[in-house]
Structure 1
Amino acid sequence: MSETTIDETGIDESTIDTGADARRAGPAEPDRSPAQVRLPPAPRIPRALQALAFSASRKRTIGQLVRRYGEVFTMRLSVFGHTVIVADPALAKQLFMANTDDVGNIQPNLSRVLGSGSVFALDGADHRSRRRLLTPPFHGKSIKNYETIFEEETLREAAGWPEGEAFETLEPMMRITLNAILRSVFGADGAHLDDLRRIIPPWVTLGSRLAVLPTPHRTYGRFSPWGRLAAYRRQYDEVIGRLIDAVQADPNLDNRDDVLALLLRSTYEDGSSMSRQDIGDELLTLLAAGHETTAATLGWAFERISRHPEVLASLAAEADTDGNEYRQATILEVQRVRTVIDFAGRHVYAPTFELGEWVIPQGYSIVVAINQLHRRSQDFPDPDRFDPQRFIGQRPNTFAHIPFGGGTRRCVGAAFANVEMDVVVRTVLRHFVIDTATAPGEKVHPRGVAYTPRDGGRVVMRRRR
């Protein structure tokens, strides 16, 4: 009798049929039971080396494995454990459209740093109920109310930009997007928001880096990264508690249109309200997810357009009109060629989950490699070319272009971020002339969860006279 091995995930590896084994053994039986596990091929690389390579350089590692093993394969990762990597839009669609009882949010996820009350921590009916509360402030007429904020914050930040000298755009974009989300969430400026401006940036930077690492069993005090993260969280909770008290005491609460007021007035279908802790966790999620990734995309936008004179000329001409078709196409192309968040995942809760020809067992993670989807030549001819024209007059395939993720867990603030990027780029182009650059494009820098320009998206601008 052969020995059966069960690892720490509780999966009996003697019952698993890998794709490579199946191909050597010939075609599968036509009446194969749906419960028969059949995994995609796995790299013949030691597990520890797989985990190390993924942690050190996700994009490069996944890109090399896609070229060698195709658009679906199995890995063993230190954070997610047994993981199936997907770079096929058809399989991504199948995953994102699956029953949420069968596949839920990937485990672990950003709730490790955002809190148990964050939308990232919820699954199934709880997740759907929370999204219904969060959706109104970030869609339709609500976003139109924020456009003035986006423009004001851009002009306020741009007042101090050097003229005729190269400077990094990433950090200014970080300040613009943070101030914009703070004003949109809390409705006004003031000392409390100054406290959050001090707390949020270092917290986001540290949390983003720790989110892709295994969580220790203890924080090891204030001198460890996890201890510092906990200290930032305590400061944040104190400030948010005071802000909630102030908004609840506002006699004009019912007439306010900021996000915090809307959340305080919102109720679930059973009439209950969000707890203060859940509101704090959700606001932290909005502040963290709502500013770093948008700022990174804007930094890449200025880096890209400064190196493509024809694109820059078209954008500058359009900025003086009421149109935004070419600007929107440019944003889509920036999101494609410089993907800021490179993966979205799910966790298998059902006994097995059928993904194309494969059958994935309970306990596995399935990760969609967004960067690889965005570079498929089948969907984007000459994928390395920066060409906004490919999006003029046509929208990308829904599951081939997913910068905000997909399915029921698609970023709730996607429309907010899109309008913000549109307004920021338009405002800059209306007030500045951007010099074209001949230097090679900036390399990609991993900033924890997000990818940013290594040199900060450096450009040279001159004020329009």
Structure 2
Amino acid sequence: MSAVLPGPRLSAAVQTALYWASPRRTVRRWQAAYGDVIGATVHPMGQVVFLCRAGDIKDLMRADPATFRAGAANAALGGSSSTFSLLTADGPQHTNARALLMPAFHGRAVRAQVEYMAEITDTNMATWPVGRPFALHRYTKEIALDVILRVVMGIGPDRLAEVRAAMLQLSRTESAVELALGSPVLARLLPYARRRERHLADSHRLLQEIIAAHRDDPALDQRVDALALLVGARGEDGKPLSDREIEEQLITLLVAGYETTAAGLAWTFEQLVRTPSVLAKAASAADTDDDEYLDALVKESLRLRTVVPDLSRMAMTDVEFAGHRIAAGSILTPCLDVVHESPSLFGDAGVLRPERFLEDKAANWLPFGGGIRRCLGATFALVEMRTVIKQMLRRFSFSATSAADERFVRRHITSEPGRGAMVTVQARAAVAAAR
């Protein structure tokens, strides 16, 4: 059992700068040099153990959550969430919060919302620029956010535009520089960090007003949206959750839920326009309601362009794991994208080939994590992506391009297309008439 982890011997400052400048490239270089278990020092997390082997990652997801805590690791990474958030909670607090919110993301509840998802997509597509290149990611953000606000949060049309604008502005102000600095005091010296604090305050004000309106809703006990469930919940002491607790859960659901889905949708079309044969099959599947193929496309897209490329767990004690001695306080980071791009696991791993998921090749497919911390909204996200993709392909013909793949841009926990997923669309009726 090795007590010394293989990894770079550069200074902590250099390792931190290399990682935050290009997380994806840096981890792959370290893997090539040091193997599948890499020890590094990355501020603000401190000692980080990158795991690049599928078996080790699965072992970690199944490990005792008291020994490897996800909430503690997420808190060390930073961000807007407090100890009330589902992301940063551990133990009974996390279990109770997850159980409380589960009905809003149950498969049957999600399928009942498909019509609303399609309606939101259709409304948004009416604003697209037709016949010229544009960045699709902007529009997938709007769609995914409206789905979260209307379907999951139950926010009515009278407040929709206001809350949408606040949340979009809040998400735009996040920066990897703030994470690398680690210190909240230093971060506040940055102009965009100060703007982010103002936007966060505006978001809290809006959510407080919406929570108050939900509390006064006489039909509250008949609603199953996440906000209604939170407002109607009681803590262990029998008292309602505080507004602050509810706000933190909502911001977690809003930011984490819509940004990841929006990036997944953008990456899907970024790849489709570079793979005309798959694009043609997907358009046919949309026309014929072949949900099996569209589901496979979604899974393949999330494999090839893993939106959340890594996870985190904190070792709470000195522990033996993956053949090494891991020190207490270390952050173990499963590199999901490295696994998803492994030729030994996925063969032609660099090719967009949805058929691999029709052949049941999902054993090492991990975009939503696993174990008791598997993403609460996984089913919701898969159904939403399939529904939105179907509506888009039914309405528009997307032009193929010979441009190079867009580079990966890391924003906090998500990996996004560097140019926003540039596409060109034509109304399908117009395309048919021109033939």
* TM-score, normalisation: structure 1: 0.87
Q: How does 1:321-332 map to 2 (within 5 A)?
A: 321-332=288-299
Give the number of equivalent residue pairs: 427
Shift of the 304–422 alpha-carbon distance from structure 1 to 2, 3 Å rule, reads: same
CA distance in 2, matches of 1:211, 1:346: 21
Pair 1:228-2:195 in alignment: yes
Superposition pairs of residues 143-162 of structure 1, within 5 angstroms: 143-162=110-129
Q: Structure 1's 122 and 464: CA in aligned 2 closer, same or farther, altered over 3 A? A: same
Matches of 1:364 and 1:268, distance apart in 2: 32
Q: Contact 1:133–1:268 (CA<8 Å) still a contact in 2? A: no
| Contact 1:222-1:231 within 8 A present in 2 as well | no
**Is the contact between residue 174 and residue 196 of structure 2 (CA under 8 Å) also seen in structure 1?**
yes
Query: Which letter maps to 2:378?
Result: A
In structure 2, which of residues 374, 384, 391 is the aligned counterpart of residue 420 of structure 1?
A: 384
**What amino acid is aligned across from residue 237 of structure 1 in structure 2?**
H
Aligned to 1:104: 69
* Alpha-carbon spacing, 1:124–1:261, altered in 2? closer, same or farther (3 Å): same
* Aligned twin of 2:331: 365
Give the SS at the match of 1:342.
coil
Cα shift readout 1:49-75 (whole Å, capped 9, x = no counterpart): 111101111000000111111111110
Give the partner amino acid of 2:45.
F
Question: What amino acid does structure 2 have at the position aligned with 1:353?
Answer: V
Q: Corresponding residue for 2:300?
A: 333
Shift, 1:247, TM fit? 1.1
Instruction: Report if the CA contact (8 A) 1:138-1:416 is conserved.
Output: yes
Find the counterpart in structure 1 of residue 160 from structure 2.
Answer: 193
Deviates more, 1:141-150 or 1:76-85: 141-150
Structure 2: stretches of 5+ with no match in the other structure: 430-435
| Counterpart residue number, 2:348 | 382
Name which of 174, 179, 182 aligns with 1:207. Answer: 174
* CA–CA distance in structure 1, aligned partners of residues 112 and 186 of structure 2: 41
Q: Quickly say closer, same or farther: Cα 1:109–1:78, change in 2 above 3 A.
A: closer
Which runs of structure 2 are paired with 1:55-74 in the superposition (5 Å)? 55-74=20-39
Change (3 A) 1:368 1:252: same
Q: CA deviation at 1:375?
A: 1.3
Q: Which residue of 2 aligns with 1:3?
A: none
**1:395 to partner: Cα distance:** 4.2
Greater displacement, 200-209 / 429-438: 200-209
**1:451 paired residue among 415, 428, 434:** 415
Q: Distance in 1 between matches of 2:213 and 2:65?
A: 38
1:3-402 equivalences in 2 (<5 Å): 19=2, 38-105=3-70, 106=73, 108-109=75-76, 112-207=79-174, 209=176, 212-218=179-185, 224-267=191-234, 271-350=238-317, 352-397=318-363, 400-402=364-366
User: Gapped runs of 5+ residues in structure 1?
Assistant: 1-16, 20-37
Give, in whole Å, the separation in 2 of the partners of 1:347 and 1:402. 19
**After TM superposition, which residue ranges in structure 1, 4 or more long, deviate above 4 angstroms?**
219-223, 268-272
Distance 1:208 1:138 in 2: 29
- The Cα shift of 1:171 comes to 0.1
Check conservation: 1:444, 1:452, Cα contact below 8 A. yes
Tell me if 1:464 matches 2:428. yes
1 CA distance for matches of 2:246 and 2:77?
Answer: 16
> For 1:304-326, what per-residue CA distance to the aligned partner results, in whole angstroms no more than 9, with x for missing partners?
11111111111111111232111
Asked if the contact 1:170–1:299 (Cα under 8 Å) also holds between the matched residues in 2, the reply is: yes
Q: Cα deviations across residues 181-230 of structure 1 (Å, max 9, x unaligned)?
A: 11023324334332211211121122354663333243786873332222
Cα deviation 1:389-436 (Å, max 9, x = unaligned): 211130411xx3221222222221111111110100000111112222
**Amino acid in the other structure paired with 1:302:** F
Aligned 8 A contact 1:237 1:280 in 2:
yes
Using the alignment, how far apart are the partners of 1:214 and 1:221 within structure 2? Answer: 10
For residues 190 and 408 of structure 2, the distance between their equivalents in structure 1, rounded to whole angstroms, comes to 29
| 1:111–1:120 contact (8 Å) kept in structure 2 | no
Greater CA deviation, 324-333 or 53-62?
A: 324-333
How far apart, in 1, do the equivalents of 2:64 and 2:237 lie?
A: 24
Instruction: Provide the rounded CA distance (Å) in 2 between the counterparts of 1:272 and 1:309.
Output: 56
After superposition, the Cα gap between the structure-2 partners of 1:435 and 1:226, relative to the gap in structure 1 and judged at 3 Å, is closer
Name the aligned partner's letter for residue 258 of structure 2: H
Q: Is the 8 A contact 2:74 2:87 kept in 1?
A: no
Corresponding residue for 2:432?
Answer: none
| TM-score normalized by the length of structure 2 | 0.93
- Give the letter for the 2:377 counterpart: G
Structure 2: distance between partners of 1:57 and 1:83 = 16
Equivalent in the alignment of 1:405? 369
Structure 2 CA distance, aligned partners of 1:103 and 1:221?
Answer: 31
2:39 is paired with a residue whose SS is strand
Does the CA-based 8 Å contact 1:111-1:121 persist in structure 2? no
For residue 397 of structure 2, what is the aligned residue in structure 1?
Answer: 433
Q: Which residue of 2 aligns with 1:26?
A: none
Superposition CA RMSD, Å: 2.0
Q: Is the 8 A contact 2:69 2:315 kept in 1?
A: yes
CA contact (8 A) 1:212 1:449 kept: no
Give the conservation status (yes or no) of the 8 Å contact 1:40–1:358: yes
Question: Which protein shows a greater Rg?
Answer: 1
Contact 2:178–2:193 (Cα < 8 Å) also in 1:
no
In 2, distance between residues paired with 1:377 and 1:317?
A: 29
